[in-house]
Structure formats: C-alpha cells, structure tokens
Amino acid sequence: MTGRDESEGERQEEYLQQMQASAASGGIHFTWEFDDSGSIHARHIVTDTGWKILLDRGLDIFQRYEMNDAFALANRLQEQRAVKAFEVTYLRIDEE
C-alpha cells in the first residue's frame, strides 16, 4: 500500500510495475495498491509467511552514487553501495 505521488504518478506506477515484474522473475509475488486517503505514513512490508517488516526510511536507504560511471562497483553490486543510517524492525504477526 502506498500513497500516489501527485507530480510523478504515472512514473511511480510504471516503477511499481517494473518492481512487480522483476520480483516475479525471482519467484516473489509482489503486489501493491494506492491509498488515496492521504492518511498513511507508516513504511512496512507484510509477508505471507507471518512477518511484518517496519522500515523507518522506507526503501530510501542508499546514499547517492554515480549511476553513469560504468566502472563503479556500486552500479553492479548492491553490497558496494553506502547506506544511510536506518532501522528495521521485524514483528511476528498472527495469521488469522
């Protein structure tokens, strides 16, 4: 569930569709929908294995890196990218 980006809504939806397709190729069923109420702020992921993962920064955890440098390892290897300070909380949820 995410809020719609008022200025980049079409691009946002395109990116979410790309994420969905990419996840599917790895055997992950990723779904999303827009909440247009304007009231959501929490950043979390709910899995179908009984976990809720709370992300205090959302998915914006990486420091900027030069995306146009073909020789920069950060462009090819995520573990080479510097990250911002963030916290992740894992909660076991009851499946009803």
Q: pLDDT tens digits, residue range 19-58?
A: 999 999 999 999 988 888 877 777 888 888 999 999 887 7
Q: Model's pTM, two decimal places?
A: 0.57
Q: Is the pLDDT of residue 13 over 80?
A: yes
Average pLDDT, the chain: 86
Q: Who wins on pLDDT, 82 or 58?
A: 82
Burial class of residue 29 in the structure, from the number of CB atoms within 10 Å of its CB (0-12 exposed, 13-18 middle, 19+ buried): exposed
